[in-house]
Amino acid sequence: MPLTYLKRAGAHIAEAGHIDARATVADMLAEIKLGGEAAVRDYAVRLDRWEGEIVVSRDQMAQSEQYVPTDLRDAMKYAYENIRRFAEAQKASLNEFEIELRPGLTAGQRAIPLDAAGCYVPGGRYSHIASALMSITTARVAGVHNVTACSPPRPGAGIPAPILYAMWLAGADRALALGGVQAVAAMAEGHFGAGKADILVGPGNQYVAEAKRQLFGEVGIDMFAGPTDVLVLADATADPELVAWDLVSQAEHGGNSPVWLVTDERSMAEAVMALVPRCLETLPQLNRAAATTAWDERGEIVLCADREEMAGCADAYAPEHLHVQAADLEWWQDRLRSYGSLFLGAQTCVSFGDKAAGPNHVLPTDRAARYTGGLSVHKFLKTVTWQRVTGEAVPDLVQATSTISRYEGMEGHAISAELRRGISPYQEKRASVG
């Protein structure tokens, strides 16, 4: 049956904005490619309003500790330990192996860390301390040799001390006081002694996301990222106040952040709809403005017939964050298929995952969870294969390979295989001529 929408999102996506971003980013990347570090510095002055030193050394990062309150340092260390331990468990789940497929035919798999990574740490409306911990720690656990981090400097002050301390704690080799497209380009090009990045990771605004998209291929990226989103699945057992705040907390990210509630309980939906405006009024002014726009323009409440229809709706939305506040959590965990990260139970709020729980918060948006997961140790590892053939396997391999090759019309492949059995194409040609 058709879904019932008690609240629908407005017509909020302006394609022209995306076109403008593409053109602007393309021009900036071209100018930086041509002008190098001088062009990057020029953009830093114009866009970041920063004329100070670009490079922050590891020793300088360490000095930021004295400017970070003790309670914040302790919280960051707690989060770092969770992130590191989870990343280490992820790495352990990817095993290298060797297998003898047939006598004389051995193959295997290796996991090789990338040489260099560039981690972007947003610093616009909010200081994204957790993003520094998430991306840099994960790269380090993977074994990446050279990790550069970038974050927008504040005019006259540089990168905020808590972000610098997070970068140091997580293990960055250096920080670059740069934001936006110029930061992404500098890491991709290897400016300021960073070395060219093999992969660019981390969230950012539409210009950062577009720069990563345009550079993909020249370098690897974690994913094409859009605005953050959340979908809450709630049944009659859920607390409407918790649900309302969980929606508002994610709407706080920005006015373009979708927030969705899917439920089979009308009274739950109506209670949440009444509570959200009260929650919004509680926020500080700037946060309230962003969250109110997100709720008004991107918020949706969907009423379903039963939990199976709720699960189907969630899979269709493929949210970045999927929070289940319903009975029988094991059923939901087994049934749900498309999400960036799953949060099971009323006590498992998305904010925990955003800041300190351990699993990475850099996650797929814009329904990309249909085909990919989030940032992980595996993104920083090349899973490569190898093979070795000895005498006993050669005859059958030659026969199979040459047969398939000739049916495909690839004579060179067949000859290359047959030479391994001493079958020379030149001898055959001479014999046929004679």
Q: Which of these is catalytic: 253, 321, 323, 361?
A: 321
| Mutual angle of helices 15-43 and 206-215, in 10-degree steps | 80
Tokens found for residue 38: 């001088």
Which of 181, 93, 83, 56 has the alpha carbon at shortest distance from 138?
83
Is 321 tagged catalytic? yes
The DSSP output letter for 130 is H
Question: What does 64-96 look like in DSSP terms, one character per residue?
Answer: GGGGS-HHHHHHHHHHHHHHHHHHHHHHHHS--
Is 12 tagged catalytic? no
Distance CA 163, CA 68 (A): 9
Distance CA 4, CA 306 (A): 12
Which of 240, 251, 226 has the alpha carbon at shortest distance from 9?
251
C-alpha 272: how far from chain center: 30
The C-alpha angle 378, 383, 385, rounded to 5 degrees, equals 165
- Residue 372's region, left for phi above 0, alpha for psi from -120 to 50, else beta, is beta
* N-to-C CA span, the chain: 77
Residue type (1 letter), 243: V
Distance CA 163, CA 121 (A): 8
Which of 379, 396, 321 has the alpha carbon at shortest distance from 354?
321
Distance CA 349, CA 323 (A): 7
CA-based Rg of the chain, rounded to a whole angstrom? 26
Angstrom CA distances, 430 to 106, 433, 434, stand at 36, 5, 6
Q: Which of these is catalytic: 189, 210, 300, 320?
A: 320
If one counts every other C-beta atom within 10 angstroms of the C-beta of residue 373, the result is: 17
Q: Which helix (H) or strand (E) holds 151?
A: strand 146-151
Q: Would the CA dihedral through 399, 400, 404, 405 be positive or negative? A: negative
Distance CA 133, CA 175 (A): 13
Active site residues: 320-321
